[in-house]
Chains A and B, each alone.
Chain A
Amino acid sequence: MRQLGLSAAIREGIIQEMRADDSVILLGEDVGKFGGAFHVTHDMLDEFGANRVWDTPISEAGFTGLGIGAALTGLRPIVEYQYLDFIFCAMDQVVNQAAKIRLMSGGRAKVPLVLRGPQGATGRGAQHSQSIEAYMMHTPGMKVVMPATPFDAKGLIISAIRDDNPVLFVEHKLLYGAASPGGGKALSDSAIQAIGMDVPEEPYAIPLGSADVKRQGSDVTIIATLLMLHRSLTVAAQLAEQGISVEVIDPRSLVPLDVDTIAASVAKTNHVVVVSEDTSRAGVAAELVATINDHCFYDLEAPVQRVAAVDTPIPFGPAAERHVIPQVDDIRAAAYRALSD
């Protein structure tokens, strides 16, 4: 089958939805003539024209609000943030408006809006490296989607566009992939697995709230998203050589969360590690630990191990950044801890 990188897969999903549905439009900085800072919207202006691909000024709060207003009046806007760090400029529009309008209107309004962009620590310093999904997980009314492979990315972006709610679609810079135009340096992390690169040409939708078991195992479950999924798969391969069987689960969306798939795995392995690139305190991993304790406590033979970034702004220096962000060694050590009790 044809292979694509992650950004090319997202791009194809967006293009196919835009061809199928005139109400899908794009808004964001440099999404038009430049084709997007990471080339996800490459050539879309040529195909769809300026009435559907809007190159905006640097006004994140403003163009997010425009997306909301357009979503309330019959369109399905996709708003790109050049880096997801910049969404904080628009937090009132996202948290107070987009996420709350449906409830405030007693269900009379819908806000079919995709907010998407890249995140992840890639040597760019504290304001272009952080992971932001926990803020949106904490915001009722938002959905949070985390594609780690090209196959998942295409199916999930199509579902996100078709969803009648505001959806944060999180992309990881290191996963964009060499198959994307301009995405050449992406595969520099040795842990990135060439999985899910076979991407069907026809449109397909992966339901939000469906986790995927990326590797079957029986001794310990590792739950991880984005780049951390790939590092966890590396750990699983390493441990297999030692006779330890690791099951690796990608939730693929954090809201809604597929608790059933996670619970079934925990019932089988009785040992769990959760891994997230965002900071530890009140973060994604913390929420997953609590969820597992709520649903699976009597299946656990050891405390759930949490692996997440150190609670600090991301430092620039490569050695310091590596120290902050969970590495393969950190995940492997957590798996040993989970199994040692």
Chain B
Amino acid sequence: MSATIEIRRDPVNCSGQDPAVLLRMFRKMLQAREFEEQLYYLFLTTAMPGTMHQAVGQEAVAVGVVSALNADDTITSTHRGHAHCVAKDVPLNEMMAEMFAKREGSCRGMGGSMHLTDFSKGMLGAFAIVGSGIPIATGAALSARVRNSGQVAVSFFGDGAVNEGIFHEALNMAALWKLPAIYIIENNQYALSMTVEESSAVPNLASRACAYGMPDRRVDGNDVVAVYDATCEAVERARAGDGPTLIEALTYRIRGHARFEAAGYRPEEEVEAWKAADPIERLAAGMIAAGAASADELNRIREEAESAIEDAIEYAQTCTDVEAEDYLAYITAEN
């Protein structure tokens, strides 16, 4: 059993929020969800090579954070990165083509699910060694400082990553130099089978920020508005030159670790309780309650998201398979 974390099911409080922002967040969360639901079936039918890690149930973290950023702000992602890419506007068609190892894919069929990248969107890469993206985002923040670009860099990583030494090294330097960085612990409560309590001496992971004199926030990661608000504050602080923030977003990995992994190490009632706290449905209820959208409007967005993913799958079928020697062009850059 994982940590005793309050599981909230109430509608997201949308009062005072810009309806356009809310609608975008609802659309992006649905796209991310639908992308991974369809991947699940594609893997079941063995139409898709490789493996994948789903963030079903965690979409509010990716979308809430990225919605607080500008288009030219940068992020690093992880092996569980589809939702981060969707949130950062990586084209769905290219993402799906990459999943099918097509030349038209985000990474020309060279990266796959765990390495989705799109520099044109500020998506600096999905790094599938746990924790390894943390200093890279920090370097992007240092670069923003050197170039005086005003950009902010965000690193997404899981609760497991905080026990890698690189977490400490990167956060120390970011705080030391007040770099415009934001660190998002996407605490889905399990590092494969290990709960936070089983792997961290102090289960309140956000509290580690005090070691660096860094502000921290611990938010309901299934409340996209709470995530968005916390990130907006962190962005403001970063752009003002006041340095980094550590945000721990508490959420839950509804599916297993990878593909069909059954996650038998979790009690059934725990999974069911978190399914009932679905971040998408909580936002829908909140938007309707606040008058930000009608049920019909939201249903139309649901249908649009479904057809966007269907279109992406159809598009991928029209793409060209990676050829045996394609990789030769990508090993080193020619100046």
Is the A/B pair a real complex? yes
From A65, A73, A75, contact of B74 by CB (8 A): A73
Tally the A-B contacts, defined by beta carbons under 8 Å.
161
Report B-chain residues with C-beta under 8 Å of the C-beta of A71: 139
Main secondary structure of the interface of A (DSSP, over half): mixed
Binds B, one of A157-165, A227-235, A237-245, A289-297: A157-165
Nearest Cβ on chain B to A155's Cβ, whole angstroms: 15
Q: Is the CB of B332 within 8 A of A102?
A: yes
Binds B, one of A49-57, A185-193, A212-220, A314-322: A49-57
Binds B, one of A106-114, A262-270, A279-287, A298-306: A106-114
Nearest Cβ on chain B to A57's Cβ, whole angstroms: 6
Chain B residue at smallest Cβ distance from A64: B135
Report B-chain residues with C-beta under 8 Å of the C-beta of A127: none
Question: C-beta contact mask, B291-335 vs A, less than 8 Å → 1, else 0?
Answer: 000000000000000000000000000000000000101111111
Q: Are A57 and B135 also in contact (CB < 8 A) when A51-B146, A102-B330, A104-B111 are?
A: no
Given contacts A75-B146, A107-B330, 20 further A-B contacts (CB under 8 A): A51-B145, A57-B176, A59-B172, A62-B173, A63-B169, A65-B134, A68-B136, A69-B136, A69-B139, A69-B143, A70-B146, A73-B143, A74-B147, A75-B147, A102-B331, A104-B110, A105-B117, A107-B333, A109-B117, A162-B335
A-B contacts, 24 of them at CB < 8 A, read A51-B146, A54-B142, A57-B172, A59-B170, A61-B165, A63-B135, A64-B135, A66-B138, A69-B76, A70-B142, A72-B124, A72-B139, A73-B139, A73-B140, A74-B143, A103-B331, A105-B107, A105-B125, A106-B110, A106-B117, A107-B110, A110-B333, A111-B333, A162-B335
Q: Are A72 and B172 also in contact (CB < 8 A) when A97-B132, A109-B125 are?
A: no
Q: Is the CB of A106 within 8 A of B109?
A: yes
From B74, B117, B334, contact of A104 by CB (8 A): B117
Interface residues on A, range: 35 or more
From B132, B153, B169, B330, contact of A59 by CB (8 A): B169
Report A-chain residues with C-beta under 8 Å of the C-beta of B81: none
Q: Could you tell me which A residues sit within 8 Å of B by CB distance?
A: 23, 25, 51-52, 54, 56-57, 59, 61-75, 77, 92-93, 96-97, 101-111, 140-141, 143, 162-165
Nearest Cβ on chain A to B42's Cβ, whole angstroms: 21
CA distance A97 to B126 in the complex (A): 10
Is B129 in the interface zone, CB < 8 Å from A?
Answer: yes
Is B48 in the interface zone, CB < 8 Å from A?
Answer: no
CA distance A102 to B332 in the complex (A): 7
From B109, B111, B141, B332, contact of A141 by CB (8 A): B332
Total contacting residues, chain B, CB less than 8 A: 50
Most chain A CB atoms below 10 A, which of B136, B170, B333, B335? B136
Q: Are A62 and B170 also in contact (CB < 8 A) when A93-B135, A109-B119 are?
A: yes
CA distance A107 to B115 in the complex (A): 12
Is B79 in the interface zone, CB < 8 Å from A?
Answer: no
Most chain A CB atoms below 10 A, which of B138, B151, B169? B169
CA distance A93 to B165 in the complex (A): 12
CA distance A23 to B142 in the complex (A): 12
Report A-chain residues with C-beta under 8 Å of the C-beta of B173: 56-57, 59, 62-63, 66
Nearest Cβ on chain B to A205's Cβ, whole angstroms: 10
Report A-chain residues with C-beta under 8 Å of the C-beta of B111: 104-106
Report B-chain residues with C-beta under 8 Å of the C-beta of A72: 119, 124-125, 136, 139-140
CA distance A149 to B306 in the complex (A): 64
Report A-chain residues with C-beta under 8 Å of the C-beta of B140: 69-70, 72-73
Report A-chain residues with C-beta under 8 Å of the C-beta of B187: none
Report B-chain residues with C-beta under 8 Å of the C-beta of A67: 139
Q: Is the CB of B335 within 8 A of A164?
A: yes
Nearest Cβ on chain B to A124's Cβ, whole angstroms: 25
